[in-house]
Amino acid sequence: ALLHKAVKLVPPISIKGIVDFDMVLDEMWAVAQEEMNFLLEASNIEEFAGNNRDVAFVATPKLYRKYTTSHVLVMEYIKGFNIDDKEGLLKDGYDLEEIGSKLIDNYIRQVIEDGFFHADPHPGNVRIRDGKIVWIDMGMMGRLSEHDKKGTEQCCLRHRHERYRHDRGCGACNW
């Protein structure tokens, strides 16, 4: 409520006429409420883990559901390397190109195949442990409809087709 009142004080010679600050604040509030509901985050962890159960190089923290409430999320502590810790990863024998390739492959799978993806994949939320990419902090997740998944897939295929200059109808990108 306080920020909504402050918006009214923004001088008219600004972006106030272009951006609906009240709508932005309402959206920020809704996202913050979702991210702070740990029962929802627990469900996100379970769904994400289920979607990736057959991916050998992806893991999620073990969830202790019986101790989790809407105000407390109980899961294992994830040791390992932040994904941007190049020095530590190299010192431990990791192949950065392989990690990057697997990370991109998994993220594309999340979006295009599952339609349920990590919406906050910054280096603090992606760790490397025991040869696996461990996704943490699933308070903000994105979800796509079948229509949006198909559209995203078509955009990726078109980009691949154009980037590698494949002929129309090539089998490599189904374009």
The catalytic residue positions are: 120
Select from 154, 151, 135 the least CA-distant residue to 59. Answer: 135
Select from 134, 131, 102, 130 the least CA-distant residue to 121. Answer: 134
Calculate the alpha carbon distances from 59 to 38, 54, 108 in Å. 19, 10, 16
Calculate the alpha carbon distances from 156 to 64, 66, 77, 147 in Å. 37, 41, 35, 14
Report the alpha-carbon distance of residue 173 to residue 164 in Å, rounded. Answer: 10
Report the alpha-carbon distance of residue 89 to residue 130 in Å, rounded. Answer: 11
Report the alpha-carbon distance of residue 41 to residue 15 in Å, rounded. Answer: 35
